[in-house]
Chains A and B, each alone.
Chain A
Amino acid sequence: MGNAYFNEMYDGSEVRVPYEGLSGWADGMPAEFRSLKQTEAEALFRRIGITFAVYGEGGDPDRLIPFDMFPRVFAADEWRKLERGIKQRARALNAFLLDVYGRGEIVKAGQIPSRLVYRNEAFEHAAVGFKPPRGVYSHIVGIDLVRTGPDEFYVLEDNCRTPSGVSYMLENREIMMRMFPQLFQENRIAPVEGYPQLLKRTLASVAPDKCEGEPTIAILTPGHFNSAYYEHSFLADMMGVELVEGQDLFASGDFIYMRTTEGPKRVDVIYRRIDDAFIDPLCFRPDSMLGIPGLMNAYRSGAITIASAPGAGVADDKAIYTFVPDMIRFYLGEEPILNNVPTWQCGKKDDLKYVLDNLPELVVKEVHGSGGYGMLVGPKSTKAQIETFRAKIEEDPGNYIAQPTLSLSTCPTFVEEGVAPRHVDLRPYCLVGERIELVPGGLTRVALTEGSLVVNSSQGGGVKDTWVMAE
């Protein structure tokens, strides 16, 4: 079974080119030194305060995501292709959003069933007919990818709203550089630390027409009890912008202002890490205490930019995912560079039959689920688990999609007994503003349990530093 997976470091006994700089690195590491370094890494993560609360698992909500010191590496030419594919996808997703909140050409052309778009819960009435600055809806597109071969990548899902985890990309690198400076002298690794400034520039480039002079940017957080609060404050720090909660902002006249010690200051761009439903009680949920009353009116009158734009979620819905390759052809006139995973919609009769007949081989997910909850990994499940899940699917087929179990690539990982291959995925963060930018890297998640294919941090996954070798 193990040989069926693509090992990113070893081709038989040969070390693949991008990993040459790491050949012998871990093997030559004495056990005591390794455990010392692991302790040091944990202490560093604790000190900077990067923790991730895990939903629904109980226990310590402030536990660390395990950090694995063995880097995951891409060659420059591998990355070039990935980069083109990711940017292509980010462009198409934004073109789709601009279209469905405008003229709806892709629906009229019969490329995507109208019900999947207009009856989608993530389709916002309030966003219809307003074109955000530069026509951009999703300013930070997180694309979850897996690798199955030397030249084979699949997109698992798109995240067009508020993809989290970029702070891990930055901190993992920072900590690796501190602990193993030598590695970074011996290898030419493309830097990722420019991300916060690139994000700031991207957000500034989508300032509204009514903005005068240098745009004022703020990050809107639901507060310190949110699991990603660390990331919100980290990004605000690194970008040199204010971190605000709803109560720090208020509407007056045409604009939204931030309370500061020097008096009210007009805000031009909000990078919000709050769901649509909560950003404005005058437009969405009236009981929301997290938002700013009047924000949506200010946004739709062109006084402030909201990133991501309200309604962007309709593009990353799992039912829409199937159509992303069609979007790429429709809007860009190009062939998709990255593959979609073949997907069966349980809401369709034929698909449902196939899925129910082949459950032991498939991965089944809830259409609106995330975080690795509510999913079935057929090959890793017991008969009883499969039967329980079968009942759930039969009860509400439209709520499920299924995909083949992919042979996720592996990367060497530190384990109890030394170093062993473990399955990995990748989430790069593509920035869309006046230009489309991608820092060379992303967040690599690793399934630490032997044989496991679930990399979600909420299901015991860890993270790795991701290297892209410089040209």
Chain B
Amino acid sequence: MRLNVTHKTTYRFDQPIRRVVQSLRLWPSEFEGQIATEWNVDIPGSVRGSAFRNGAGDWIETSTVTGPIDEVMVTVTGTVETTDLSGVLRGHRERVPPEAYLRTTRFTRPDTALAKLAEGATKGADSPLKAAHDLANAIRDAIAYTPGETDSHTTASEALAKGAGVCQDHTHALIAAAQTLEIPARYVVGYLHAEGSIAEASHAWAELWVEGLGWVGFDPANGVSPDENYIRIGSGLDSVDAALIRGVSQGAGSEELDVDVQVSAADQ
């Protein structure tokens, strides 16, 4: 499928600020499931640099904007050809050993409820792949998709206790549950082409390490593995570590964020 993406992030400051420094993770991953035929990241007034590919295979770049300035706009536009690989991240070059993902952060620290859920969900699984699927389904059933119930600081255990959340919460909970079974798991960010189904600004799902297959994506919010409707950008230990844009602004005053994402299928 050919997907067109327009992703605009606007930061507005109520008082002009001196500087904004951002670390960008905004370029599509390179693997057999997708290829970007066109891709642009535009930030008017910025100085760009410090570009490199990190150990997890993501392209990272620094952007700085020097003020006084009261608005920073990041515009991503591009086209990606996608193929359905049933979630398998085939042909992706990376260096971080899977075992290094067996660690938790404040977002993905499991509690007994998550451990219990993981144990119960995977009892009948006869293969690692089946266990991963069962786990993802159990998370979908335990946390109802409910925008507004959680925020960006909500942890996996809090979301499970509430029984409500959004894709970030589903993903953190799946990672936390997988950790209790010693399954390496990580947070993945990207875009989703979704007609009629759950569509948030940008999307998040999890990848679990399945012996024999490698990293396999699971999107508990939608109860599927990523297919040709998904564009993968990058990964990390949690939502902060994997964020598309991490920034620090220097100056007084507060910041308002506006995100607009459009993903559409191009006419064939």
**Chains A and B form a bound pair:** yes
A119 x B55 contact (CB < 8 A): no
Of A84-92, A194-202, A294-302, A404-412, the one with at least 4 CB within 8 A of chain B = A294-302
Say if the beta carbon of A251 comes within 8 Å of chain B. yes
Asked whether, in the complex, the Cβ of B97 is within 8 Å of the Cβ of A104, the reply is yes
- Asked if B23 and A119 make an inter-chain contact with CB atoms under 8 angstroms apart, the answer reads no
* CB < 8 Å neighbour of B49 from A126, A130, A252, A300: A252
With both beta carbons as reference points, the residue of chain A lying nearest to B248 in the complex is identified as A293
In angstroms, Cα B95 to Cα A107, docked, is 14
> Which of the listed residues A127, A128, A250, A251 has the most CB atoms from chain B within 10 Å of its own CB?
A251
Across-interface contacts of A125 in B (CB, < 8 A)? 55-56, 96, 100, 237
Size class of the contact patch on chain A: 20 to 34
1/0 per residue, CB under 8 A from B, across A105-117: the answer is 0010000001100
> Is the CB of B51 closer than 8 A to any CB of chain A?
yes
Interface-lining segment among B29-37, B59-67, B80-88, B129-137: B59-67
B52 within 8 Å of A (CB atoms):
yes
Contact in complex: A282, B23 (CB < 8 Å)? yes
Complex CA gap A23/B41 in Å reads: 75
Q: Is the CB of A297 within 8 A of B52?
A: yes
**Which residue on chain B has the smallest CB distance to residue A255?**
B49
A128 closest partner in B (C-beta): B55
Question: In the complex, what distance in Å separates the CA atom of A129 from the CA atom of B53?
Answer: 9
Interface hub of B62, B97, B99, B103 (most chain A Cβ within 10 A): B62
> Are B50 and A294 neighbours in the complex by a CB distance under 8 Å?
yes
A281 near B248 (CB under 8 angstroms)? yes
Asked if A70 lies at the interface with its beta carbon under 8 angstroms from chain B, I say no
Instruction: Report whether over half of chain A's contact residues are helix, strand or loop; otherwise say mixed.
Output: loop
Check B64 against A252 for contact (C-beta < 8 Å): yes
Cβ of B52: which chain A residues have Cβ within 8 Å of it?
A: 130, 297, 300-302
Contacting pair A129 B100 (CB below 8 A): no
Shortest B51–chain A CB gap in Å is 6
Is A263 part of the binding interface, using a Cβ–Cβ cutoff of 8 Å? no
Q: Does A123 contact B (CB under 8 A)?
A: yes
Q: Which of A123, A252, A255, A302 has the most CB of B within 10 A?
A: A252
* A-B contacts, CB under 8 A, total: 100
| CB–CB A294/B23 < 8 A | yes
Interface residues of B in 227-245 (CB under 8 A from A): 237, 240
Chain A residue contacts of B51, Cβ below 8 A: 301
Complexed CA–CA distance, A114 and B100 (Å): 9
**Contact between B100 and A123 (Cβ–Cβ < 8 Å)?**
yes
Chain A residues lying within 8 Å of B56, measured Cβ to Cβ, are 125, 128
- Chain A residues 244-292 with CB under 8 Å of chain B are 250-255, 281-283, 286
Q: How far is the CA of A128 from the CA of B235 in the complex (A)?
A: 14
Q: How many whole Å from A152's CB to the nearest CB in chain B? A: 38
Distance in angstroms between the alpha carbons of A123 and B97 in the assembled complex: 11
Within 8 Å by CB of A251, from B53, B64, B102, lies B64
Please tell me if the beta carbons of B49 and A115 are within 8 angstroms of each other in the complex.
Answer: no
Q: Which B residues lie within 8 Å of A101 (CB)?
A: 55
CA distance A130 to B102 in the complex (A): 21
Residues on A with C-beta less than 8 A from B237 are: 125
Contact A294 B100 (CB under 8 A): no
Which B19-60 residues sit within 8 Å CB-CB of chain A?
19, 21-23, 47-56, 60
Which B residues are CB-close (under 8 A) to A297? 23, 50, 52, 60-62
* Interface: B247 (CB within 8 A): yes
Interface residues of A in 147-206 (CB under 8 A from B): none
> Which residues from A are CB-within-8-Å of B61?
297
Given A129-B95, A294-B64, are A250 and B19 also a contact pair (CB < 8 Å)? yes
Query: Do A121 and B23 have beta carbons less than 8 Å apart?
Result: no
Instruction: Known A252-B64, A298-B62; judge A286-B240 contact (CB<8 A).
Output: yes
- Contact of B60 with A253 in the complex, beta carbons under 8 Å: no
Q: Does A118 contact B (CB under 8 A)?
A: yes
Contact of A301 among B49, B96, B246 (CB under 8 A): B49
Assess whether A300 is in contact with B54, with CB atoms less than 8 Å apart: yes
CB nearest to B47 among chain A residues: A253
The distance in angstroms between the C-alpha atoms of A294 and B51, with both chains bound, is: 11
- A residues in contact with B55, CB < 8 Å: 101, 125-130
Report if A253-B48 is in contact (Cβ < 8 Å); known contacts: A118-B99, A126-B55, A297-B61.
Answer: yes
Chain B CB within 8 A of A50 CB: no
Q: How far is the CB of A16 from chain B (nearest CB, A)?
A: 50
Interface positions, chain B 99-116, Cβ under 8 Å from A, are: 99-100, 102-103
Q: Are A301 and B100 in contact (CB under 8 A)?
A: no
- B99 CB contact (under 8 Å) in A119, A252, A283, A286: A119
**Inter-chain contact B103/A251, CB cutoff 8 Å:** no
From 293 to 338 in chain A, residues with beta carbon under 8 angstroms from any chain B beta carbon are 293-294, 297-298, 300-303
Q: Which residues of B contact A302 (CB under 8 A)?
A: 52
**Chain A residue nearest in CB terms to B246:** A282
Please indicate the chain A residues that have their CB under 8 angstroms from the CB of B48 in the complex: 253
Alpha-carbon separation in the docked complex, A102 to B97 (Å): 10
A249 to chain B, nearest CB (A): 11
- Kindly report which residue of chain A lies nearest to residue B241, judged by CB atoms: A125
A107 to B51, CA, bound (A): 30
Q: Is the CB of B60 within 8 A of A115?
A: no
Chain B residues closer than 8 Å to A107, beta-carbon distance: 97
Q: Closest CB of chain B to A120's CB: distance in Å?
A: 9
In the complex, what residues of A have CB within 8 A of residue B95's CB? 102, 128-129
Taken together as a complex, chains A and B put the C-alpha atoms of A121 and B103 apart, in Å, by 8
A126 touches B97 (CB 8 A): no
* Cα distance, A130 to B55, chains bound together (Å): 7
A263 to B28, CA, bound (A): 38
CB distance from A363 to the nearest CB of B (A): 29
Partner of B100 from the list A119, A254, A303 (CB cut-off 8 Å) is: A119
Q: With A114-B97, A125-B56 in contact, is A301–B50 under 8 Å at CB? A: yes
Chain B contacts for A294, CB-based, 8 A: 21, 23, 50, 62, 64
Which of A107, A255, A282 is the most central at the interface, judged by chain B CB atoms within 10 Å of its CB? A282
- Taking A250-B64, A252-B49 as known contacts, 12 extra A-B pairs with beta carbons closer than 8 A to each other, sorted by chain A number, are A115-B99, A118-B102, A119-B100, A127-B55, A128-B56, A129-B54, A252-B64, A254-B49, A282-B247, A293-B23, A294-B50, A297-B62
In the complex, 10 of the A-B residue pairs with CB atoms within 8 angstroms, ordered by the A residue number, are: A101-B55, A118-B100, A121-B103, A129-B95, A252-B66, A254-B49, A294-B62, A297-B23, A297-B62, A301-B49
Chain B residues with CB under 8 Å of chain A are: 19, 21-23, 47-56, 60-62, 64, 66, 95-97, 99-100, 102-103, 237, 240, 246-248
**A-B pairs with lowest CB-CB distance, top 10:** A128-B55, A253-B49, A129-B55, A129-B95, A254-B49, A297-B50, A293-B21, A293-B248, A282-B23, A118-B99
